[in-house]
Structure 1
Amino acid sequence: MNDTTVLTLILNFRTPEMTLRSAAAALAAMDGLPGEVLIIDNGSDDGSFKALQAGAEARGWLQGGRLRVQASARNGGFGAGMNIGFAQTLSTGERPDVYYLLNSDAFPDPDCIRHLRDFLGRTPRAGLAGSFVQGEDSVPHCTLFRFPTIASEFEGAARTGVISRLLHHAIVPLPIPQHPQQVDWTAGASLMIRRAVIDEIGGFDERFFLYFEETELCHRAARAGWQTYYVPQSRVTHVGSVSTGMKTWTRTPDFWFTSRLYYFTRTHGALYAAVATFARLAGGAVYGLRRLLNGKPRAEAKGFYFDLIRHGLRSLISPARAPRRGTSLSEESK
């Protein structure tokens, strides 16, 4: 019998009803597994914490030590919120063996968590494992990737067949496999991490407010010798972008550019980050020419390359500032 203990972490930001729905699915998926669910309200400051507490109590979840609700005094972003969870013990006072990170708008299948736990149990060097993710329309979401590079920045922005064929080794999104596959990184919507990984390399870098934080964590884990896997037998339904509002962005928010630049600087150095930005601009110029000649549709948010240049120039004048903490996503998007 597998006695690996699991602490499931769900981060709420102003979506209490959606979070309670996610928690219900998580509790069902935790049935028969040793461990519990922890909901962290990430500084919502809108009554979410009380709504979560009341909702959990009304459903009888607070009895028996299977679910707890905790409040963070500030919204420090995804990584900062999950780091609060990494610092917690189980109700017994013992530390969990693994952490299962679940988005508040994601709903695991009944055997989702078990598949990830069992995979880590039989794969000693696997430190992180992510799930197959699909939308509510059953359309698969790509959540397995290579690490971003200079070449991938150019290829992804150019969106041109001949370039993609030449740089096929650098394409960041990977085809969805039928069997478990080692990858560079996978999305944090449904991600299991060994406690041993966190103990060795630390938690999320809180200088990322949002985006690139799981990419950098997987990069740091890889440097320490841990592997990341995609496990398609573990399945999750994901609404997507409910807390971040990404689907309704009319312009890419500043924190995305800040996180992108910090990722490249953190992992490869300032010179590499500068060249990666130039490669993105060059790729964008290629696609811009195709738009001019062939009437291709806009591929980036309005003002994207202007904002990329502006942010790059600002970083040359002064050191790249850390993504802002304690600020709501709506405020960051302005």
Structure 2
Amino acid sequence: MTIEPEHDAPEQAAPVSSPVAVVTVTYSSGEYLHSFLRTLKTATTAPVQVIIADNGSDDGAPEAAAAADPTVTLVDTGGNLGYGGGMNRGVAAVGPDVEFIVIANPDIEWSPGSLDELLAAARRWPRAGALGPLITEPDGTVYPSARRVPDLISGTGHALLGAVWKNNPWTVRYRNEDAELVERPVGWLSGSCLLVRRAAFESVDGFDSRYFMFMEDVDLGDRLSRAGWLNVFVPSAVAMHAKSHSVSRHPERMITAHHDSAYRFQADRHPGARWAPVRAGLRVGLAVRARLAIAAALRERAAAEKTARTEEER
């Protein structure tokens, strides 16, 4: 089923009733979406309604997924709203009786029983507004998905130095990689895969759609905490993240969005005239870092393309 966007009208509710809904945002996600839906079938024994909020794909994958499975509803967002904006549109299409909503990237692959583990943890933690699994990378490396909320010093230090000095003290503190892999409340959880309690998500008005991409999960986790909810890390649930295919295809746009979001997060929390010099310095520093990161990404892409052409010519 496909839901088309309507101007100044609320999204229609998906027709399938279930105790949990899964919402993903697509932007030409291709085979990733197929793996996402295939592995989701083993992640829980509960009936699941799936909402695909499509931000303008041109690969036909969302339409094919909706046509193949009656539990999948396709919501056309009407354009590329970014991750948070697209996710808000998808959540708005979830039936009103659904208490728990999974928010996940389409390049997630679920481990068997992982969603059931998150649902069980949600019942153990009634004040949990968001719960996140242990996330691995394709090579099996554990991704630091449960982190501290960055303050001005640690956030700035990580933003400016994280790419060139990976073990700097601000990045180490922010990423929180040395913490034990035990179930516990944390500052925020990766938005690549989250189970949110609908009441909590709606109490903070969902994602802040001003964040086109990146940092929207940090902002959500911080606002949930400020509203009295917990962000709970659940390492007994495991998911694999293929990691940002959109970034590799569009480094200029994505790196710029990342740095813009880093600035917005700190600027929102440090308003007023007395913080103006700090905000100005942060903006300049992030702009310089963004230009350097874009140049490096473009060089890396050019080298990869050259290598591919050489291989083809052999």
Aligned identity (percent) is 25
Q: Which amino acid aligns with 2:251?
A: W
CA distance, structure 2, for counterparts of residue 217 and residue 162 of structure 1: 26
**Which residue of 2 is the match for residue 173 of structure 1?**
175
Deviation of 1:11 after TM superposition, in Å, equals: 1.2
Shift of 1:103: 0.9
1:279 to 1:40, Cα distance in 2 relative to 1, 3 A: closer
Aligned with residue 97 of structure 1, among 79, 99, 113: 99
Distance 1:185 1:57, change over 3 A: same
Contiguous gaps of at least 5 residues in structure 1: 286-299, 307-334
Look up the equivalent residue of 1:117 and give its one-letter code: L
Matches of 1:237 and 1:216, distance apart in 2: 23
The CA RMSD measured in Å over matched residues stands at 3.2
1:120-142 superposed Cα distances (whole Å, 9 cap, x missing partner) = 11111111111111122111111
1:154 and 1:282 in contact (8 A); partners too:
no
- DSSP 3-state at the match of 1:79: helix
1:80 corresponds to 2:85:
yes
Corresponding residue of 2:50: 37
Tell me the CA shift for residue 106 of structure 1.
0.7
After superposition, residues 235-254 of structure 1 pair within 5 angstroms as: 235-245=238-248, 249=251, 253-254=255-256
State the 1:301 CA deviation: 6.3
- For the residues of structure 1 that align with 2:62 and 2:100, how far apart are their CA atoms? 24
- Are 2:197 and 1:194 equivalent residues in the alignment? yes
Residues 136-184 of structure 1 show CA distances to partners (whole Å, capped at 9, x for unaligned) of 21111111111122220354345779972xx69x821012522112111
| Native 8 Å contact 2:255 2:294 kept in 1 | no
Q: Distance in 1 between matches of 2:86 and 2:211?
A: 11
* CA separation of 1:303 and 1:224: change in aligned 2, threshold 3 A: same
Map of 1:45-194 to 2, 5 A cutoff? 46-48=58-60, 51-58=61-68, 61-62=69-70, 66-90=71-95, 94-156=96-158, 157=160, 164=169, 171-175=173-177, 176-194=179-197
Check 1:78–1:274 CA distance in 2 against 1; reply closer, same or farther (3 A cut): farther
Q: Taking structure 1 as the reference length, what is the TM-score of the superposition? A: 0.72
Instruction: Please say if residues 18 and 105 of structure 1, whose CA atoms lie closer than 8 Å, have aligned partners that are also in contact.
Output: yes
C-alpha distance in 2 between matches for 1:227 and 1:188: 15
Inter-partner Cα distance in structure 2 for 1:184 and 1:225: 12
Inter-partner Cα distance in structure 2 for 1:39 and 1:97: 18
Shift of 1:87: 0.8
Q: Tell me, in whole angstroms, the C-alpha distance in 2 between the residues paired with 1:200 and 1:14.
A: 31
Instruction: Name stretches of at least 5 consecutive residues in structure 2 with no aligned partner.
Output: 1-16, 296-314
Q: Distance in 2 between matches of 1:47 and 1:24?
A: 18
What is the distance in 1 between the residues matched to 2:29 and 2:140?
22
Conserved? CA contact 1:252–1:301, under 8 Å = no
Q: Contact 1:148–1:172 (CA<8 Å) still a contact in 2?
A: yes
